[in-house]
Chain A
Amino acid sequence: MLNLLVNFLTLLISLLLINANIGSAKEKELFETPKKLNTYGMPGTIDNPTADVFPEGQFSVSSSIFGGTIRTNLSFQVTNSITLSFRYARVPLLDSEFGGYTWDRSFDFHYVFNEEKSIFPSIAVGLRDFIGTGLYSGEYFVASKSLASGIDVSVGIGWGRLAGRNSYDNIFGFNERKDRNFGQGGSFHIDHFFSGPNSPFFSLSYNVSPNLEIIAEMSQDNYDVEVSAPKGFKRKSDLNFGFKYEIAQGFSLMGKLMHGDAIGLSGTLALNPRNKPFKSGIEPAPMPLLENKILLETQSFMDSDVFFRSAELLELDGIILLSMEIDNNFVDVEILDRNYLNVSQMIGRVARILSKTVPLQVNFFRINMVDYQSGYSVSQIIVERESLREFELVFDGPDKLWRNVKIVNSSAGTNSSFTLSKNRASWSIYPDVDLMLFDPHSPINGSLGWEATLAYKINNSTTINSSVKQAILTGLNDIKRNPKSGLPNVRSDFMIYYRDISTRPYISSLTIDQYYKPFKNIYGQINFGYLEMMYSGIRGEAIWKDANKPYGIGLDLAHIYKRNTYGDFSILSNSYSTIIGTIYYDFQSDWNIQLDAGRYLAGDYGSTFSLSRNFNNGWEIGAFATLTDVKFSTFGEGSFDKGITLKVPLSWFTGKKSQAYTKTAIRPITGDGGARLKLDDKKFLYRNIAKYSENRFRKNWKRVYR
């Protein structure tokens, strides 16, 4: 479930190294402000919030330790004024079954509704732990002002944990705050917001230098739970003191003395996907465009076979020419690209090469983009040869060219006259990491082993895919938790599979995958076999997607059987069916939404809403929640299925062309309600198709001449 988180964190560190080497000090744009985080991963001083924001798009990982408490936070600056964070915390507890501690997940929200201007301070409102068990539950209003000489002051009023000391009657009149009883957690507790007594809090910070800040704050948090626990600390004062030091771009440390007793340390890694270290990339320059006279001369030195000479040059750019047909002033080509993440840049290079190789009589390039996995041509882009040359080096050239470009759906069916790869069979063997977080018995658990894959392309649209895995070092065979009760165990019994498989090799998947394109804008696939570690059966997916529309519709059907818990070929008799319809919408902005609805694995009916910020460079940060007709009490801990997704492209780090990425879904709780088949990202068609849509080309078109 979380098997790439470590990869991601490592990449995060590498970014810092890259930034340290490549970041230009001359550039005034500020992308990362790690010093602004408090111990909750939100804008603040030490424990207190401030009315600050991070630079839009900043993603931060922070961890702090003091007095037996550990807080690890993932924070994201969603818009210019909204900050969200997810936290996993170890909290000292008096009667705990986990060695004197409890482990708690929580979410925070922070909204700045007034930015600092002249004499007016910035003002923010925040909700702390508004959707968890409420252990850190609290709300606040806070105002912050920068004074002369690097001094910042924040004053606020807080409720809940922020009103543990020096409290007085609720300013809104809601004097009663209900006891903390949040059932299975995971649900909003709106009736607590801004209720009960309230207390003021203050913070003062001074920037000694651009890298060093010293802080004093008065925090009213009583730390009731922590001070009563043997592994907690003693609260001797309302005051906290600390310093923050920014060691490198995006990396800072904080030392602190909490409430006169506990000494602590925090570390923050911040990165902003908008701050690409390699700017426009370091791929070699594309081929320049030529005047007709020089072009004729150049072509006279080339191979007389137009297909061959075009294919040869395209291959230098990592693009495979599959077919070519010249018809008067049109050339129709089918190309395969497995290298460029940026489709506009790729098309620019294809068009440049064609304008160098095809006869002068050809005025239009009709370029069809074939998907490697499915074998069908997804979209066709028509580029006018003269426009390409005319606007190459002029101001606003890409925009001018865009007006002369047309994108349509490619024709139905698959072309069997070419083969997508020289070898029908392909294989690989690589290390495999499987990480599992949030188990209170073992908060960080996982396995290290290997994965071998073997694929055989029967034809362009039919492939046998297989994957065998084996854990060599694993802690996953000793998960203490048991399957949940109340619903058929369709996912929450995963630990039985890990326990029984242990360190044996097992078939992770073995399927025959057949792809269809019956109409110009309808795409389909059928997967049959061992679909994932826990299920085998048959699955079909169909997508309607018009290249010129920003939306698509999908239908995903599956009839599956539970696999034996040893990961061999045997199948159990338990069968399940899922029927899920999906609407996808890619906004003109960087936001995408996906709404799934239907019948889930456990037979429950409901829907999943997913929202993601797609940075126009391959990064994706999103969140999803599934609500079905399963009661929260039946779902158990967490109340419903939800999570955070992260997608990180390789090209962002290297500056070179690559479609590779690592994707991670952080799911706080695994339950049976709202469960689906757990398939590789590649088994879902929509994103593969949408990447060749007009919307995607438009967003990236400024790279067409790169």
Chain B
Amino acid sequence: MIRKVLFLISLLGLSCSSDSITHSEKTSFYKIYKDIVISKPVPPQPQQTKEKKIYDKAWLSKFNQPIILLSSLDGKKTATLVALGNYKDKLTWVSADGISVSFSNGILIATRGYSQDLIESQHNDLNTLFSENTSRRVKKYRYINGENRYRELTFICNIVAKTATPSFFLDLKLQTTKFIETCKADTTNHTNEYYVLPNTSIVLKSKQWISETNGSVIIDNYYSFQNNLL
């Protein structure tokens, strides 16, 4: 009996296939079972004394193509994205780990590669959003639900503009207009922030909401600086 059990266990270790897809499918299933049977406690993460990265003009000068920086709200996760798509003023930026974000006039309109992607969105006032007269707007966000159908959220947003807001970009201190967009839908709400170059619609930096699961991200639009806009 013991020999049989040992044989079965060793067989599990020796399981394989000449076909990579078959092997990947089988091991994915086994991994699910293994995770249940052997649920290892997550070891405490050692306190890392990570050297803080300095984002300055010298750092930016290393890039010879347009980039933006995406950061989590706590700043612990960052990704540099390069522009790979451009069609009718809609820019798509892609990260090395397979995330893409698309913008129109600096407003996030779609994401790909997140677990709950912003599949599409509707904004009727993208060209006038950063005029200081805008105070109220409606936007629609669409997601794909568990059955590959749309889940649509309609947000009613209030926008407040704060002029002459000092902000830091790279190693520069700039005066910007800060637009605070507070949005509410039936089941969720969020606040977006845009730091816009005065008297333009150029968004230098923003905090924008993606979805309920993924929350908000901070976007540093270094592309503006690469184009020698300042």
Contact = CB atoms under 8 A, between A and B. Distances in A.
Given A393-B90, A706-B119, A27 B187 contact: yes
A435 interface: no
Contacts of B98: 283-285
A280 B36 contact: no
A395 B109 CA distance: 9
Interface residues of B, number: 67
B146 to A, nearest CB: 3
Contact of A706 (B112, B211, B213): B112
Nearest to B124: A395
Q: Majority SS of interface residues in chain A? A: loop
Contact of B115 (A279, A339, A425, A703): A279
Most chain A beta-carbon neighbours within 10 Å: one of B8, B32, B119, B187: B32
Contact of A395 (B12, B102, B122): B122
Contact of B85 (A13, A26, A289, A430): A289
Interface in A1-58: 7, 10-11, 13-14, 17, 22, 24, 26-28
B2 to A, nearest CB: 11
A302 interface: no
Nearest to A432: B11
Interface in A620-643: none
A660 B28 contact: yes
A654 B39 CA distance: 17
A566 B25 CA distance: 31
Given A17-B35, A288-B92, A650 B25 contact: yes
B175 to A, nearest CB: 32
Contacts, number: 186
B173 to A, nearest CB: 34
B35 A14 contact: yes
Interface residues of A, number: 72
Contact of B116 (A280, A290, A431): A280
Interface in B34-67: 35-36, 39
Interface string A243-274: 00000000000000000000000000000011
A431 B7 CA distance: 11
Contacts of A280: 114-117, 119, 143-144
B120 A10 contact: no
Contacts of B119: 280, 702, 705-706
Interface in B97-126: 97-100, 102, 104, 109-110, 112-117, 119-122
Contacts of A290: 84-87
A430 B26 contact: yes
Contacts of A425: 18
Interface in B186-227: 187-188, 211-213
B115 A281 contact: yes
Interface string A399-432: 0000000000000000000000101011111110
A550 interface: no
A472 B8 contact: yes
B228 interface: no
B11 A450 contact: yes
A275 interface: yes
Interface string B123-166: 00000000000000000101111111110000000000000000
B23 A428 contact: yes
A655 interface: yes
A290 B115 CA distance: 25
A698 B99 CA distance: 26
B212 A24 contact: yes
B18 A28 contact: no
The list of the 6 closest CB pairs from A to B, nearest first, reads: A288-B85, A284-B98, A276-B146, A428-B17, A285-B112, A285-B100
Interface of B: 1, 4-5, 7-8, 11-12, 14-19, 21-26, 28-29, 32-33, 35-36, 39, 84-88, 90, 92, 94, 97-100, 102, 104, 109-110, 112-117, 119-122, 140, 142-150, 187-188, 211-213
